[in-house]
Structure 1
C-alpha cells in the first residue's frame, strides 16, 4: 500500500495515517519518524477536531494524534530519571494524547497542544506510580505533587550550591523550603527523599552473560515450607527415618542389626559416634574386615527393604 504525506504545514494525506510511524520496539527510528511528521496549522487542527466531534471521523483523529506524537516524546524525556523504559513512557503518554484528542473541544479557544499536555502528563504519572515500586510511594494529592517535584527541586538546590561542597542529601533549610512550597509536612519530604534515594532491586533477575540464572532476593524470600511437593517429601523423609528404618532393621539377624546400630544409629553423650570396626571385631572375636563385610551386606539388605517400604 502506498502512502504519501503532505509537506509540513499542509497536513497529512494518508489512507492509513499510522503507516508512517514505526513500532516502538525500534525507539530511535520511532523518534526520528515522529519528529519528521508534519504539524497541523491552527485552521487544519480546527477542521480535524470538528470532523471528529461532529462526524466521528477517525482519519481526522489520526491526523490530530500523529501531529502531536513529538510532544509526547518531549514530555516523556523529563521522566527518564525514574528508571523506567523510555518506550513505555512514550506509550503511556500516547494513551494520554489519544484521550485528549477524544475529549478536545475546538470551540474552547485553545490549541490542542495546551489541552493535551495535562492528559499526557497524567497518564505518565499514573504509570510511574504503578510501576516505579511495588509499594505505593504517593497516595494523596500532596504526596503525588511531592513525588514529581522533589527530584527537580533537589536538582535546583544542586545548581545553586558549589560542586565541591554540595551534599547529596537535603539540608534542614532545604527541607523547610520544599515543605513550604509544596504544602506538605517536613516529615513527608524526608520520607519521600529516603524512598526515592533507595535503589530498586530485581526480585527475579535476568540471566547473566553466561546464560546462567542470576541470583536475587527471590531465591531466599520464597517460602517453600508450605509448598505441597515439599510437604510430601518432608513427610516421606520423616516416615522413612522412623518407621522405614525400624522395618528394615527387623529384616536383619541380631548380629548384623547390632553392628548397624552401633556403627550408624548410636550417638554417645559427648556427641561422638558408636563403636569402631576394631571394637566390634574384638567383641565378636573376628577380624575388622569381617565386621566390615557383615556391615556392607546388612546395609545392602536394608536399602532393599527401604525401597520396598517407600
Structure 2
C-alpha cells in the first residue's frame, strides 16, 4: 500500500470496498477516502478474523485492514511533531496494522482496534527512532554547513587557546561571532546547532530496565493522549451516558422517586452546595428519613439497570 501515490491494490470489482480509495491522489485524498471506509460490526470482525485464521482468506484480511485504516491515520497524527512526513508515518502505521491483522486471534475476547494499537504504535516508534535524530540535526542548508564544520572549527579554537587553563566545552561569544562570519550563517543558527550536537541521544522508548520494570522515556509523554482513539471513544461514551443515559434512566422512575434523585444528586445551588438532604425531603413528604433513603436506593437500582444499555 503506497501512501505517496495512493495506489492500494490491483483493480477489483465495483462492489469491493478497496475501490473507495483513489488509484492516484495526494495525502488529503487518501485520508478522505479511508475515513469513508465502512466500519465493521463485532459479528463481521469475528467472521473475517476466523476466515483469515482458519482458511488464510486474503480477502477477509483486506476487509479487516480497510476498516481500520482510519485508526492508523489518527494515531500517526499524534507524531507529527517530530518533523517526519505524515504520509511516511501513516505508511509505517499501516505496516503495523497488517502485522496486527495477521496475528489477531478472535478467540481472545478483544476487538481488533485495541489489539492493533500496539502494533501500529510499535512500527511508528521504530520509524521515528531510526530517522528522527538525523532529520532534526541537519535539515536546512545552513544547518548542514554547521553540522560538517562546527566540530572541526571548535577544535581549531581549542588549539589556539591550548596554553590557557580551561575546562570550557561550549563556545564563547567571540567564537560564535567568528564562526557565524566565516560560514556566512546566522549567529542563532550556530547556537542552535551547538546545543543539538552537545546533547546526546535519548531513547524514546527505553524498554525494560535492570530490575525488569519498564523504564520511563519521552515516548510516554510526547504523544497526545487526548487524541487516542480509545480515549475519544471513552469520552464520547461518557458524554452519551451523562446526557441521553441519565435522561432515559430518570424517565423510568415515578415522579416522587425522580424528584428525590434529582434533589439529592443532580441539583447544585448557586453557592456550590448540593440539593435537599434526606431529612428535608422527609419533612416535605411527611415520611421518615429512612423511608426517603429506601425510595432513593430502589430508584438508583432501577436507574442502574436502565443505564446498562449504554455501557
Give the alignment's TM-score, normalised by structure 2. Answer: 0.49
Query: Which structure carries more relative contact order (alpha carbon 8 Å, separation 6+)?
Result: 2
Report the structure number with the largest CA radius of gyration. Answer: 1
TM-score by length of 1: 0.49
